[in-house]
Structure 1
Amino acid sequence: MKIFKGNFNVKRLPANNRLHHIDALRAIAALCVVIMHFYTGLPGGAASSALAGNVQVLDFGRIGVVLFFTISGFVIPGSLQPGEHKGVFWIRRFFRLYPAYWVSICAVILAQWLFLDTTFSLRQILANITMLQNFMHFENIQGVYWTLKVELIFYVMVYLAFCCHLLEKPAFLLAASAFFFVIFVFYLDYWTGVTTLAHRFIEFANLSHVSDAHGGTADNHPLPGALNMNWGNFSGYFSVMFLGAALRLWFIGKMNRADKFATGILALGWFVLLPAMGMIVYVRTQDVGLFSMYGSWSTALALFMILAFLSPIRSKIMVWLGVVSYSLYLLHPLVIDTLFAFHVTAAWAAAYPLLALLFCIIISAALAGCLYHTVERTAVNIARQLTKGLSIRNGNL
């Protein structure tokens, strides 16, 4: 693989030396998610139009989410530096995620009450404020918040790997990625029956551990949580995150030939095994919707590798959208829901979907820019000041 050579250091991303092409990748991921949510929210016949159908079959939303998670895997490990106080990472992550998230919660609650006549219980609001609501069995106030749970779990795994001095070891990162990939493939095999191996394994285990009344179900299997409650898909997300972390080491020249060969073998799983499984099921079912389960993952990873290593994008507009992409991700459902809340604007969006999509992107980006410059950037600067003092007191600077 010909690696893109840039004047950047991915180990540390100060404001004056950002990986601009990675920011542009974030913009593509965010736009994919916006497009998906817009077309799935279109009313009536417009939602079943050819364009909307293609967006859903190709699953722009999953492509965007997989891109986001791969980028997180590529960037987040560089936030942990040897010799720093162990609290630096968590303080900076807290201020990076929570302030903008809290503002978005307030905006959603207000908009839902004003335009959709929807209210939330105090318990649900308090649970959502923690960002741990799914672990406490509370619904997300806004649907897109589910990805933050996956992000937080990855932070914990990365932090533990850092504490065990494994974060700079390609063999560990690739092994972790492969482990989660196997669970993900097992999960897909269970639901689509590509090889029936997953069914045989579960049925065999259930003969000994589960009564006939409950045997053979995804709720009673020897891999607790791996095949239900979305944890099968989450394993796929963890796999691409650790793959992104391994690709970071390749990018900064910390992989030898054996590591690169192992990375290539793992990539074959995503680019050969997964599409082959999808084709087998498609031949049996003729279900074009299978691309969402199989093809979207490979497409997202291919986009990442091409645009991160081979053909970087440095368009100023795309870079800016990438910088504000977290706020864009948080706020765009609010704009879409508000647009579709009124009959007049919903009818206009259905009649002119491309124009309405452009309108949603522009308004969402404008709001995201405001949130970024007033809240996100301020919070990040506060975190830097706090952690700088912490590092000084501990003799690390």
Structure 2
Amino acid sequence: MARLGWLDVLRGWAALLVALHHASYLYVPGLQVRMAGWFDPGRYGVLVFFLVSGYIVPASLERRGSVREFWIGRVFRIYPLLAAACAVAVLPFLLGLTGLRAGLERYDPVTAVLTHLTMLQDLLAVPNAMNVLWTLSYEMVFYLLIVALFVVGAHRRSVPAAAGVAAAALLVGGLLPMTLLSRVAGTGTVAGVTAAVFLAAIAAAMSGRPAVRTAGGLLGGLLALVLVTLNGRIAAWEGMSMLAVMFTGTVLYRAEHGQVGRRTAAVTAGFVLLAVVGTGVWNTAGYGTYAWHVQIVWSGSIVAAAVTFGAAWLLRRRRFPRWATALGTASFSVYLLHPLMLMLSNQFFGTTGREEVPKLVAFVVVLLAVSWAAQRWIEAPAQRLGRRIARPARVGESAPVTVPVA
């Protein structure tokens, strides 16, 4: 595990940066205004997260060699804290104190719950219960795609996956419609069908029968592709660009472990970087007077994330301070809980519209303490339970694929 310290540092850095970005609106609005149009720390942090996920999550699936064990691990890794955070987020609404975020109360409760249970709400035209949850929709899409590749034995074809998705984003991403399915068939209908297909695909992919497992994996992958290309809240070119970034993380992992040549990996990463930057510049050119600001923010976030990941990789064999790796261990808690902390702070203390650095420092201290507690008493026990449940889950599945893990 010590060799994974650099990934923990990246996760912790990314989570803290996203939290600081959102906190800046409340505590240092002047700084936030000056930074807007030049750099977006939140987007940069999310892209670092995506690179880390791309690097390690497919390796986790391949190390287990079991789709069933992979999905059990993901459920117990994500859902306990996610459920707790969402419960806290909607509690003020249930108590009649405030409305739900972004008018979520306008949606049928069953639809809202179903879409959040699948984590695909951002691709189903349903507002996120918390602003940060949109990234989990793309994480889930990535999981569905890597499982689809795994069940057909194409999981090591990360180079064509990364380059192909990046090229598709550049060539056709800007031509694809947003929320098309929800507008045509209705949000509730699409959400219901998606939930049914999603659950059926995962259940089948966890089957001990190879043919059923393959069909389930492919069904999940098809669902992911359809939603990203035809029903995203954000433009398809942007969603596809983020998937290309994740698959690039996988390419770098494969180069690290000799599964693809390092020159091939470097060329692929370079192509994806140029294609994703070019995609953003091309598709925001019509934004009018502020187009160049949007292009700078998009390009800067992509390049900064790539440089950060590359620098951390070069330092991967070094020892990192315990506090830095500990922050990475609690990074999911930091990421999910900081919007709730900001909501509570704004509710009880309000905002003056002035720079309040001491309040920002206090917010960070409290956030880290709460995140440490959540990681220790919610995340860690849930993950241990998931491992115990998954332990006998390989029965009936093929033998694990032996893949070295960093």
Under TM normalisation by the shorter chain, which class is it?
0.7 to 0.9
Distance 1:268 1:133 in 2: 28
Larger Rg: 1
- For 1:315-354, list aligned pairs within 5 A: 315-342=321-348, 344-347=349-352, 350-354=353-357
Pick one of 160, 167, 171 that aligns with 1:175.
Answer: 160
Residue 306 of structure 1 is matched in structure 2 by: 311
TM-superposed deviation, 1:140: 1.5
Is contact 2:55–2:249 with CA below 8 Å preserved after alignment? Answer: yes
1:196-232 deviation per Cα after TM superposition (whole angstroms, max 9, x unaligned): xx7xx99xxxxxxxxxxxxxxxxxxxx9638974322
Is contact 1:124–1:139 with CA below 8 Å preserved after alignment? Answer: no
Cα–Cα, structure 1 residues 279 and 371, in superposed 2: closer, same or farther, change >3 Å?
A: closer
Residue 126 of structure 1 is matched in structure 2 by: 113
- The answer on 1:246 being equivalent to 2:231 is no
Q: Which shows bigger deviation, 270-279 or 361-370?
A: 270-279
Distance 2:71 2:273 in 1: 35
Distance 2:47 2:151 in 1: 26
- For the aligned residue pairs, the C-alpha RMSD in angstroms reads 3.5
Pick one of 266, 274, 282 that aligns with 2:271.
Answer: 266
Overall identity of the aligned pairs, in %: 23
Pick one of 385, 388, 392 that aligns with 2:391.
Answer: 388
Q: Which amino acid aligns with 2:330?
A: V
Cα–Cα, structure 1 residues 84 and 339, in superposed 2: closer, same or farther, change >3 Å?
A: same
Residue 165 of structure 1 is matched in structure 2 by: 153
1:255-288 deviation per Cα after TM superposition (whole angstroms, max 9, x unaligned): 3255245335425626985798799999x96843
Q: Which amino acid aligns with 1:40?
A: Y
Distance 1:50 1:136 in 2: 34
SS of 1:118's partner is coil
SS of 1:57's partner is coil
Residue 96 of structure 1 is matched in structure 2 by: 77
Where in structure 1 are there 5+ consecutive unaligned residues?
Answer: 1-15, 191-197, 203-222
Where in structure 2 are there 5+ consecutive unaligned residues?
Answer: 178-227, 401-406
Residue 52 of structure 2 is matched in structure 1 by: 71
Residue 87 of structure 2 is matched in structure 1 by: 106
Q: Which shows bigger deviation, 270-279 or 116-125?
A: 270-279
Is contact 2:89–2:129 with CA below 8 Å preserved after alignment? Answer: yes
Distance 2:396 2:25 in 1: 52
TM, length-normalised to structure 1:
0.74
1:337-391 deviation per Cα after TM superposition (whole angstroms, max 9, x unaligned): 221224x4422xx444332222222222211111111111111111111111223
Distance 1:115 1:308 in 2: 49
Cα–Cα, structure 1 residues 232 and 298, in superposed 2: closer, same or farther, change >3 Å?
A: same
Is contact 1:140–1:146 with CA below 8 Å preserved after alignment? Answer: yes
1:137-169 deviation per Cα after TM superposition (whole angstroms, max 9, x unaligned): 43211111111110011001111111222222x
- The answer on 1:144 being equivalent to 2:132 is yes
Cα–Cα, structure 1 residues 164 and 126, in superposed 2: closer, same or farther, change >3 Å?
A: same
TM, length-normalised to structure 2:
0.73
Is contact 1:20–1:319 with CA below 8 Å preserved after alignment? Answer: yes
Residue 359 of structure 1 is matched in structure 2 by: 362
User: Matched residue pairs, number?
Assistant: 342
Residue 230 of structure 2 is matched in structure 1 by: 225
Distance 1:380 1:79 in 2: 14
Residue 222 of structure 2 is matched in structure 1 by: none
Is contact 1:62–1:296 with CA below 8 Å preserved after alignment? Answer: yes
Residue 186 of structure 2 is matched in structure 1 by: none
1:81-109 deviation per Cα after TM superposition (whole angstroms, max 9, x unaligned): 37734311111111111111001111112
Distance 1:165 1:247 in 2: 19
